[in-house]
Chains A and B, each alone.
Chain A
Amino acid sequence: MSVSVRATALLGRWRWLLLGLTVVGLLGYLIYSATGTSAEYYETINEMKAHPSDREARVLGVVQDDVVRSDGGLHIRFTAAEGSSTIPVDYTGTVPDIFRPGIQVVVAGKVGSDGVFHARTLQTKCPSRFSTASPSG
């Protein structure tokens, strides 16, 4: 009697363990596959130039003075720079209000055959918390 109870309990415990492992495995696979398809490199312009690839990447750079807006403000071309290395960027979409020369931006996209970085998204780094510290340069 007691042996069979213990056996059932043991079986029950194994069942839970198995269930737990299955769940964790499924979750792991879910996270792994989603990471695989949507992870992008986050890098500076120098790093991007050091590792040219066809994959999409997010690149951090400072907007230079040559911003050209067209299409009613929804299309922009500018040069992003990190120190002395630069890259031309082309972006179509809503331009954040605080976008302007001197500010840091993060563009996501990839370099086309024309050598221009075609950005799918453009985000500005918030200049600061609650102060005006206007970006210089």
Chain B
Amino acid sequence: MSAAILGAAFLLTALVLDLSSGVLALTAGVRRDPLLARVARRAFYAGATGVVGASAVLLYALLSHDFSLAYVVEHSDRSLATPLVAAAFYGGQEGSLLYWALLLSLLGAASLAAAPRLGTRLPAYANAILAGLAGFFLLVLVFVSSPFDVLPIVPGDGLGLTPVLRDGGMLVHPPFLLAGYSSFAVPFSFAMAALWAGEEAAGGEWIRHTRRFALLAWALQSTGLVLGMWWAYHVLGWGGYWGWDPVENVALLPWLVTTAYLHTALVQERAPGQLRAWGFGLVIAAFLLSVFGTFIVRSGVVPSVHTFAVSPLGPWFFGFFLICLAASLVTLARAGRSAPAPQPASPAAVSREGTFLAQNGILLALAAAVLWGVLLPLLSGLTGRQLVVGQDYYERVSAPLFLLLLALLGFGPLLPWQRAGQTWLRTLRWPLAAIMLTLTLLLAAGVRQGTALLTLPLAAAGLATCGLEYARGTLQARRLAGRWPVAFVRLAARNRRRYGAYLAHVGFLVLVIGIAGSHAWQQQQDVQLKPGQSMTLAGHHLTYLGTREEQQGDHTALIARLSAGTAIYEPSRLTYPGLGDQVVSRVAIDSGVLDDVYVVLTGTSAGDGVSLRVFVNPLVSWVWVGASLLVTGMVLGHLSLPLGARQNSPALRPVPARTT
């Protein structure tokens, strides 16, 4: 049987199974029928199996160069390395939709399999929503944009892949971003289901369940964003890693909102009931923004340099977005009317809860500012001439918000829960001292850049606060456990929630230092050199040695060689004769703790001369380290045991920081 028929059959079967699962699950929820709910769940599993089958067929067709499929012809050729051929699975539009449906089905199935403790109604409703969402993608895959369309004539080879995308970074960042987008559907489904079912049915357990999957979505999205930044930095050759392009911005939106939610969930867990509606709203908003982002990327309604995904599917996604938006609004409005949230004693403004709320406010303000920037061309286009905003706008609006966030991070974690007494003021002396010290050092070192003078002292305050908490915890645990390294490890291992959170904060601060440093002190120089000549930029002395040409598979590489002490730089230009002499630059980067030297070969001139653009990018490696710590800390922090289970053991009680 041909791949086309087999794949299409799998998709159609999955569609039928998902739709039936959705109807059955809805009925089961309304009738509170556990048997029917089980049947519905199994139908969802079977649908997921169908999607896995279709995915396997497409992957096999790609790897076996089955050029009877239009998708295989359009996105691969025989000369491509195997990993790149496999990456074509999610590289094209039809394949990326299938990839999305695949993740949604698998994560949905996992979330349902883990949900039986939540009772009958809530998982049944979540099942119905998940089946509906997966059903939408399958509907599009079956009727509008199928990866299993066949060509009338089977060509001998495919069209291949744009050279700029033939890179390892391209293999990894899109699947993470797509996975992030699709996984926001799971927390959304459970939050909506809890609203439909009346959450008391589930006894609050659903909050943990939802949070786990929100965390997964957050981690996937973070990883995708960071890998995308890494790819842009190492491949695109403009010396930066974030361009505030709409495609990047819309990926940031659900991330910001989910970050806010994950903090709110901590308050919710301590005091169920507090910020409840707020939490629902955030989870729902994160999913809506992820669908909105997909619509923006796919439809091309907003001017972007990334036109890779523009497709006729725009209206479909817009419709999908509108349906999800309407369903969410109706659900939230009905829930708000039928059960007005009990108002627990609201905590004082100056308290840990207060800082969480302020942090949420800042993150949402950032999201609103970014969303406005993305929407401006659309909105202004409706009323007249299209307006766009660039990097300048985003820097202006985000800088003050980031500074507020930093200040909050420096002082917030020291505030006690509920209500700050008189003693907390004294604990603030540490971060304040860190600010004064850093400021003095920077001024003494002759630094006059506003960005650095504002950001770095605040970041130091944050680091001092985190350090203080770690030190206090270690001292506390030491009394019980003996030697301090053991104490520290024990403390961190048992109290993962708390110390994971501080690790995430340290990661964020390192990330901010990296961003501020590379922003404030980047230097750039364009030079033309003959062999033997050298240049100096920011203390780095580069000598140009010469060029050589190499034949590498389907392309020719012109490689320039430069030396700086022991470091050798080989930036190159690759020419693809098979693709109309398309040229791709390969950047040479020497990363250090303090700065990166970043060399781009921009051209050649007579007599073995080269023209180069050289950047010195300070602290960029801090961006990658900080981002990794942030993700690691967040995941560790949120994976820990529920709060109640830990409080019995004396060593694990939250450190009484400000009572003595």
Interface residues of A (CB under 8 A from B): 12, 23, 27, 30-31, 33-35, 37-43, 47, 51, 58, 60, 69, 71-74, 94-95, 97-98, 100, 106, 108, 123-134
Contact = CB atoms under 8 A, between A and B. Distances in A.
Contacts of B369: 27, 30-31, 34
B161 interface: yes
A106 B369 CA distance: 24
B393 to A, nearest CB: 4
Interface in B438-468: none
B165 interface: yes
A125 B602 contact: no
A108 B390 CA distance: 10
Nearest to A12: B346
B611 A47 contact: no
A42 B386 contact: yes
A39 to B, nearest CB: 5
Contact of B75 (A30, A97, A130): A130
A130 B161 contact: yes
Given A34-B396, A72-B528, A98 B308 contact: no
B303 interface: yes
Interface in B580-602: 580, 582-585, 600, 602
Contacts of B390: 38, 40, 108
A128 B397 contact: no
Interface of B: 74-75, 87-88, 91-93, 159-162, 164-165, 237-238, 303, 305-309, 346, 361, 365, 368-369, 372, 376-377, 380, 385-390, 392-393, 396-397, 400-401, 526, 528, 579-580, 582-585, 600, 602-605, 609-611, 613
B308 A38 contact: no
Contacts of B91: 129-130
A134 B605 contact: no
Contacts of B308: 126, 128-130
Nearest to A72: B611
A74, A94, A132 pick with most chain B CB within 10 angstroms: A132
A73 B580 contact: no
B602 A130 contact: no
Contacts of B605: 72
A13 to B, nearest CB: 10
21 contacts: A30-B369, A35-B389, A35-B393, A37-B393, A38-B389, A39-B376, A39-B387, A40-B390, A42-B303, A71-B611, A72-B604, A74-B602, A94-B602, A97-B237, A97-B582, A98-B583, A108-B390, A127-B162, A128-B307, A130-B165, A131-B159
Contacts of B401: 30
Given A38-B396, A72-B528, A126 B306 contact: yes
B92 A130 contact: yes
Contacts of A38: 389-390, 392-393, 396
A103 B580 CA distance: 13
Contacts of B368: 27, 31
B402 to A, nearest CB: 12
Nearest to B73: A131
B400 A132 contact: no
B580 A94 contact: no
Given A94-B600, A128-B307, A131-B75, A34 B92 contact: no
Give the 7 A-B residue pairs with the shortest CB-CB distance, closest first. Answer: A72-B611, A73-B603, A130-B91, A129-B308, A34-B396, A38-B392, A38-B393
A39 B388 contact: yes
Given A27-B369, A124-B305, A37 B396 contact: yes
B340 to A, nearest CB: 15
Nearest to B343: A9
Contacts of A128: 162, 307-308
A129 to B, nearest CB: 4
A98 B397 contact: no
Contacts of B613: 74, 94
B100 to A, nearest CB: 15
Contact of A69 (B74, B238, B388, B603): B603
